[in-house]
Amino acid sequence: MATSTDLTAHLIRYAGPNTFGPDVIDHAAGSFLFTEDGRRILDFTSGQMSAILGHSHPAIVETVRRQIGSLDHLFSGMLSRPVIDLARRLAESLPDPLDKVQLLTTGAESNEAALRMAKLVTGKHEVVSFARSWHGMTQAAANATYSAGRKGYGPAAPGNFAIPAPNTYRPDFTTADGELDWQRQLDFSFELIDAQSVGSLAACIVEPILSSGGILEPPVGYLAALQHKCHERGMLLILDEAQTGLCRTGTWYAFERDGVVPDILTLSKTLGAGLPLAAVITSAEIEAAAHDRGFLFLTTHVSDPLVAAVGNTVLDVLTQDKLDERAAKLGLVLRQGLDALADRHRVVGDVRGRGLLAGLELVAEGADRLGTQVTARCLELGLHMNIVQLPGMGGVFRIAPPLTATEEELALGLQILDQALTDVA
Sheet holding 25-29, edge to edge: 25-29, 32-35, 40-43, 383-384
Residues 6 or more apart whose CB falls under 8 angstroms from that of 1 comprise none
Residue-level pLDDT at 5: 59
Low-confidence ranges of the chain (pLDDT < 50): 1-4
User: Hey, what's the torsion of the CAs at 342, 346, 350, 353, to 10 degrees?
Assistant: -30
Residues 6 or more apart whose CB falls under 8 angstroms from that of 118 comprise 127, 202, 203, 235, 236, 238, 263, 264
Q: Would you call 6 a catalytic residue per the annotation?
A: no
Residue 167 maps to a domain:
yes
Residue 201 maps to a domain:
yes
Q: Would you call 368 a catalytic residue per the annotation?
A: no
202: phi then psi, degrees, rounded to nearest 5: -105, -45
CATH number of the domain that residue 205 is part of: 3.40.640.10
Q: Cα(294)–Cα(287) distance, rounded to whole angstroms?
A: 11
74: phi then psi, degrees, rounded to nearest 5: -140, 165
In the set 124, 326, 354, 398, the catalytic residue is 398
* b/e burial code for range 375-393 (CB count within 10 A of at least 16 → b): bbbbbeeebbbbbbbbeeb
Q: Cα(134)–Cα(212) distance, rounded to whole angstroms?
A: 6
CATH number of the domain that residue 394 is part of: 3.90.1150.10
Neighbours of 329 (CB within 10 A): 15
Residue-level pLDDT at 260: 98
Residue 102 maps to a domain:
yes
In 3D, which of 317, 319, 313, 357 has the Cα closest to residue 335? 357
Q: Cα(359)–Cα(366) distance, rounded to whole angstroms?
A: 19
Q: Would you call 217 a catalytic residue per the annotation?
A: no
Q: Cα(297)–Cα(278) distance, rounded to whole angstroms?
A: 14
Residue 316: give the domain boundaries.
Answer: 71-320
| 272/353 same-domain check | no
Strand partners, 273: 275
In 3D, which of 361, 117, 107 has the Cα closest to residue 215? 361
| 293/154 same-domain check | yes
Neighbours of 104 (CB within 10 A): 27
Per-residue pLDDT of 201-256, as tens digits, reads: 999 999 999 999 999 999 999 999 999 999 999 999 999 999 999 999 999 999 99
Q: Cα(271)–Cα(414) distance, rounded to whole angstroms?
A: 27
Mapping DSSP onto H, E and C, the string for 129-182 reads EECCCCCCCCHHHHHCCCCCCCCCCCCCCCCEEEECCCCCCCCCCECCCCCECH
The beta-strand segments (E) located in 263-373 are 264-267, 278-283, 348-354, 357-362
In the set 240, 241, 287, 324, the catalytic residue is 240
Assign 62 to helix, strand or coil: helix
* b/e burial code for range 395-420 (CB count within 10 A of at least 16 → b): bbbbbbbbbbbeeebbebbbebbeeb
How many separate domains does the chain show?
Answer: 2
In this structure, are residues 386 and 47 in contact, taking their beta carbons and an 8 Å threshold? no
| 348/400 same-domain check | yes
Assign 64 to helix, strand or coil: helix
**394 membership: H or E segment, kind and range:** strand 393-399
Strand partners, 397: 360, 387
User: Hey, what's the torsion of the CAs at 85, 87, 89, 91, to 10 degrees?
Assistant: -150
Residue 310 maps to a domain:
yes
| 48/121 same-domain check | no
Q: Would you call 207 a catalytic residue per the annotation?
A: yes
Residue 9 maps to a domain:
no
| 250/394 same-domain check | no
The verdict on whether omega for the bond into residue 171 sits within 30 degrees of 0, i.e. cis, is no
| 303/334 same-domain check | no
In the set 100, 126, 134, 287, the catalytic residue is 134
In the set 207, 324, 350, 409, the catalytic residue is 207
Pick the last residue of a domain from 253, 288, 320: 320
In 3D, which of 262, 164, 156 has the Cα closest to residue 208? 262
| 195/233 same-domain check | yes
In the set 269, 326, 352, 377, the catalytic residue is 269
Residue-level pLDDT at 2: 46
Sign of torsion over alpha carbons 371, 372, 377, 378: positive
| 118/204 same-domain check | yes
Neighbours of 9 (CB within 10 A): 10
| 123/209 same-domain check | yes
| 207/290 same-domain check | yes
Residue 15 maps to a domain:
no
Assign 33 to helix, strand or coil: strand
Pick the last residue of a domain from 274, 292, 320: 320
Q: Would you call 269 a catalytic residue per the annotation?
A: yes
Q: Cα(265)–Cα(393) distance, rounded to whole angstroms?
A: 29
Q: Cα(228)–Cα(400) distance, rounded to whole angstroms?
A: 31
Pick the last residue of a domain from 320, 337, 359: 320
Residue 62 maps to a domain:
no
In the set 132, 243, 324, 377, the catalytic residue is 243
| 79/125 same-domain check | yes
Q: Would you call 100 a catalytic residue per the annotation?
A: no
Residue 39 maps to a domain:
yes
| Model pTM score | 0.97
| 394/271 same-domain check | no
